[in-house]
Amino acid sequence: MAKIALLNNKGEKLKDINLNDSIWNIEPNDAVLHNHIILSLASLRQGTAKTKNRSEVSGGGRKPWRQKGTGHARQGSIRATQWRGGGIVFGPTPRDYKKKMNKKERRLALLSALSYKFKGKELVAIDNLNLETAKTKDFINVLNDLKLNDKKVLIVTDNLEDNLLLASRNIGEVLVLADYEINTLDIINSDCMIITESAIKNIEEVLK
């Protein structure tokens, strides 16, 4: 069974805790993980790009000159696509970029991401993250004690306390999530994942 050191806020080891091998120590599936990341990024796209075609551009109802005898090429509207200010040919239209993936693949992608964190020694287990104050400098001191001050950190906790949220919100490289909010993209996008002991138990209870 996989084990990991449980630390306190000062980076001191308290004990070793066991991790469920079927969740934290599986053989990652790179193909499914890649597909899920593509799905997650695609779901963030708004898909609201839009241009006007010649039927949507205002004006141009009158024929600019007569059909024959002017020496010009025949034209039916000044809003045709070859005119400046005319409609756009084959321009983008609103669309939905979302992709589909079944539940077993989504679960496998999440387990693969968690296993990569454990195998890559990018997982830090901590007893709790209860801060006495909401000061950012106190939270930075915690990161310094854990030697994570220069990394992109994902914090997963079972309880989103106000002091933790307030102290970390001004740090651009830190993201705080509840244990039920974890997702593959945020896990992969972080350099290190700090997780509380209670959050580990909750995750294992849901994913076992």
Q: What is the mean pLDDT of the chain?
A: 92
Tokens of 18: 């066991």
198 pLDDT band, cuts 50/70/90, is very high
The pairing of strands 153-157 and 192-196 is: parallel
31 or 149, higher pLDDT: 31
The pairing of strands 13-19 and 2-7 is: antiparallel
Residues 200, 8, 121, 136, CA torsion sign: positive
pLDDT digits (tens, 9 = 90+) for 37-95: 999 999 999 999 999 999 999 998 899 999 999 999 999 999 999 999 999 999 999 99
Residue 100 confidence (pLDDT) above 90: yes
Domains annotated for the chain, with CATH where assigned, are: 2-46+98-207 (3.40.1370.10), 51-91 (no CATH)
129 pLDDT band, cuts 50/70/90, is confident
Kind plus residue range of the DSSP H or E element containing 177: strand 174-178
In this structure, are residues 153 and 143 in contact, taking their beta carbons and an 8 Å threshold? yes
In this prediction, what percent of the chain has a pLDDT beyond 70?
Answer: 100
